[in-house]
Amino acid sequence: MLGLPKSTEVNRRIPKQKFYENLTISPTLKRVFVEQIKVIWWRNKIAAITTNLAAGETVTELEVFEVCLSAPHLDEAVLRQIDKEIPYHILFLLEHEGRYQAWTAYKEAAASGINAFKVGAYYHTDWLEESALPLKLDGLNVEQVYENFVRQIAGEALSGTSETLKESVERDERRKELQKQIAVLEVKVWRERQLNKQVLLNAELKRLKKELEELR
């Protein structure tokens, strides 16, 4: 898929039960696996042994999973569950009726163990033909390929080229947090009837908007 080298192809079906049997997950999440997913394919393995790329310092292997859906929607909690179970970075290709969305999360090692990962926010493309997905194998090692995939999928949200991917993700998360705080504060200002409190709220609103503008 995606024009990746033939040497990376795996094309192995993964039973979706693997991700919820014998695991402590909620009945709701198990139902999502059953109802929203038709089949999961392990399409590609991007690693030093399957390409001419060097292994990265923190990313040594990148898996490409095709997740065929029953409808054009998947609960993000499913991807998070799979990401937690697989000790490698993953590029998800959601498929429905021949169209695709590319999904991936910023995923880094957690302090709890060598194979434990902290899974951050997910980024995804619109629904597109496979050939139109903005994904290109770009980089000298697996880590660079992974980071470029994340940036290609996220687009303008992670457009800072002079900073590390981690810094770009943190900036984007702070921007989203500020947008939520501003929306809540604007409602408070609108509802407040006491002038002195309105002044204080507007001052805080101005400060948050200034910080948001500086992050753009």
pLDDT tens digits along 135-147: 999 999 999 999 9
Backbone angles phi, psi at 61, to 5 degrees: -155, 140
The pTM is what? 0.83
- pLDDT at res. 23: 67
Domain boundary assignment for the chain: 6-159, 170-215
Nearest to 96 by CA among 114, 64, 74: 74
Tell me: the pLDDT tens digits for 32-79?
Answer: 898 999 999 999 999 999 999 999 988 999 999 999 999 999 999 999
The percent of residues in the chain predicted with pLDDT above 70, rounded, is: 95
Contacts of 181 (CB under 8 A, 6+ apart): 208
Sequence-distant (6+) residues with CB within 8 A of 51 are: 5, 7, 8, 142
Residue type, 130: E
pLDDT of 97 reads 95
> What is the 8-class DSSP label of residue 53?
P
